[in-house]
Amino acid sequence: MSKTDQETPQPVGLDVGTSRIVVARGAEKKYKYESQLNAFLTLPHSALAESLLQRENVFHEVRGAEIVVAGNDASRFAEVFHVETRRPMASGILNPQEPYSLAVVQSIIARMLGRGEGQKVFFSVPAPVMGSDAAISYHQASISRMLTDLGYVPTPIAEGLAVVFGELADSNFSGIGISCGSGLCNVCMAVLSVPVISFSVPKAGDFIDNQAALVTGDIALRMRMQKEKAFYMNGLIGDRVHDALNVFYQEVVANLVEALRTHISSAQRLPHFDQSIPLVLSGGTAMPKGFLEHFKKALRENELPVKLSEVRVSSDPLNSTARGALMPTLC
């Protein structure tokens, strides 16, 4: 794929998400972010097509009889041809059903980071779902190797803990951080930056898109675009797409709150909090209008065994995990 000669002398925070890969750089609370869609599609190879893509500076590489278009450009081409993009990751980890998964993620990360010179990079990894972490171990080792090969010194960080680092400095990094992403919703409860509960739930943004696509007869890509551009979580209004998104958003919220209550209630050594703690939501799935109100309503109906001082959505939800991953590199 096309490369950049980008120099990155400072440490890096890296959010390796199912939907997007986000890089955070900076110091002294002045952060810069870059993101690419974690997706691709393939086109039949021809010399003419390759030359046109090069001329337009489209992110691509040639693989045998195919041209692989990746990152943000993949979404643009998918919309033109009305096809689904292919996803190198699923449910927070490398997609075992996708032969190009490793190569595409590696190419996107290399394009965004450039070569390293021994800099530290913390990269996000999902928490286990129902205690199963074998696939996560492989995913973590694969991303770590990619970064090492680029010249970085990598360290994994749980995605929910990264949200705590990125959002809860004012409470001494004590509270609950939740990343509502595409593949998973990752949750972490921490005390003074130490994680005490960490888990993920599989119903998240992709679940909403796929289920809404099934009942409307459209494709998941269109559901995602509708959700990101104009969706308002305000009940059923008689519009087929809007109503489908509402129904499955409600299911995701209810499932997340119930999982949160269950995990906290069943914790054998739940820390004693002298005061109430904050809860912050981040990630693209938490961004639509009405999400926070429905989440708070679900919390009132499923009271948690801890007192919450506030429940809010991050002011920068798409970059929260990458920013939190950057924080420990600056210490």
Q: What is the pLDDT of residues 176-189, one digit of tens each?
A: 999 999 999 999 99
CB atoms within 10 A of CB 27: 11
| Statement: residue 9 has pLDDT above 60 | no
Residue 1 lies in a domain: no
**Do residues 249 and 207 touch, judged by C-beta distance below 8 A?**
no
Looking at the fold, whether 268 and 217 belong to one and the same domain comes out as yes
CA dist., res. 58 & res. 91, Å (int): 27
Domain that holds residue 133: 12-166+320-330
For residue 272, what are the contacts with CB-CB under 8 A and spacing of at least 6? none
For residue 287, what are the contacts with CB-CB under 8 A and spacing of at least 6? 228, 313, 317, 318
Looking at the fold, whether 214 and 237 belong to one and the same domain comes out as yes
CA dihedral sign, ordered 146, 150, 155, 156: negative
Residue 178 lies in a domain: yes
The pLDDT > 70 percentage for the chain reads 95
Residue 284 lies in a domain: yes
Residue 42 lies in a domain: yes
| Statement: residue 239 has pLDDT above 50 | yes
Residue 31 lies in a domain: yes
Strands 89-90 and 93-94, bridge-based pairing: antiparallel
Looking at the fold, whether 73 and 176 belong to one and the same domain comes out as no
Which of 78-87, 144-153, 165-174, 235-244 has the least mean pLDDT? 78-87
pTM (two decimals): 0.92
Looking at the fold, whether 153 and 177 belong to one and the same domain comes out as no
Number of domain units in the chain: 2
| Statement: residue 7 has pLDDT above 80 | no
| Statement: residue 132 has pLDDT above 70 | no
Looking at the fold, whether 208 and 307 belong to one and the same domain comes out as yes
**Do residues 4 and 114 touch, judged by C-beta distance below 8 A?**
yes
Highest mean pLDDT among 29-38, 126-135, 244-253: 244-253
Read off the pLDDT band of 330 (50, 70, 90): confident
Mean of pLDDT values over 23-47: 90
CA dist., res. 194 & res. 319, Å (int): 22
Task: Tell me the per-residue pLDDT of 66-83, one tens digit each, with 9 for 90 and over.
Answer: 999 999 999 888 877 777
CA dist., res. 260 & res. 277, Å (int): 14
CA dist., res. 200 & res. 179, Å (int): 9
Looking at the fold, whether 180 and 73 belong to one and the same domain comes out as no
Mean pLDDT over all residues of the chain? Answer: 92
